[in-house]
A = this chain, B = another copy of it.
Amino acid sequence: MTKDKKKQPPLTDIASLGEFGLIDHLTKGVALYHPETIMGVGDDAAVLDNGPLATIVTKDLLVEGVHFDMVYTPLKHLGYKAVAVNLSDIYAMNATPKQIFVGLAISRRYTLEALEALYAGILLACEKYRVDLAGGDTTTSQAGLMLSITAVGQAEKEEVVYRGGAKPNDILMVSGDLGAAYCGQLILQREKEAFKANPDMQPDIDRYAYVLERQLKPEPRRDIIELLRESGTRPTAMIDISDGLASEIKHLCKRSGIGATIYEEKIPVDPRMAQTAHEFNIDPTTCALSGGEDYELLFTIRPRDYEKVKDLQGIHAIGHMGEAQGEAMMYTSSGQLIKLVAQGWDALKG
Contacts and interface: CB of A to CB of B under 8 A. Distances in A.
Contacts of A59: 101, 103, 135-137, 148, 150
A63 interface: yes
Interface in A10-61: 11-17, 19, 22-23, 25-27, 29-34, 36-37, 39-41, 45-46, 48, 50-53, 55, 57-61
B133 A30 contact: yes
A123 B46 contact: no
A334 interface: no
A128 to B, nearest CB: 11
A112 B17 CA distance: 9
A37 B144 CA distance: 32
B41 A133 contact: yes
A114 B8 CA distance: 12
Given A53-B51, A57-B99, A25 B139 contact: no
B36 A98 contact: yes
A335 interface: no
Given A113-B11, A146-B105, A51 B51 contact: yes
A41 to B, nearest CB: 6
**Copies of chain A in the complex:** 2
Contact of A55 (B17, B48, B138, B195): B48
Q: Choose among A104, A199, A350 the residue with the greatest number of B CB atoms under 10 Å from its CB.
A: A104
Contacts of A312: none
Interface residues of A, number: 94
B132 A32 contact: yes
Given A103-B103, A127-B31, A148-B148, A66 B14 contact: no
B136 A99 contact: no
A106 interface: yes
Interface in A99-132: 99, 101, 103-106, 108, 110-116, 119, 123, 126-127, 130-132
18 contacts: A11-B114, A14-B108, A17-B112, A27-B119, A31-B126, A34-B130, A48-B55, A48-B134, A50-B55, A57-B57, A59-B103, A63-B139, A63-B142, A64-B142, A101-B150, A138-B348, A146-B146, A148-B148
Given A138-B23, A142-B64, A48 B112 contact: no
A6 interface: no
Contacts of A140: 63, 66, 347-348, 350
A197 interface: no
A152 interface: yes
A274 B50 CA distance: 46
A280 interface: no
A148 to B, nearest CB: 4
A135 B45 contact: yes
Interface string A172-205: 0000000000000000000110010001100100
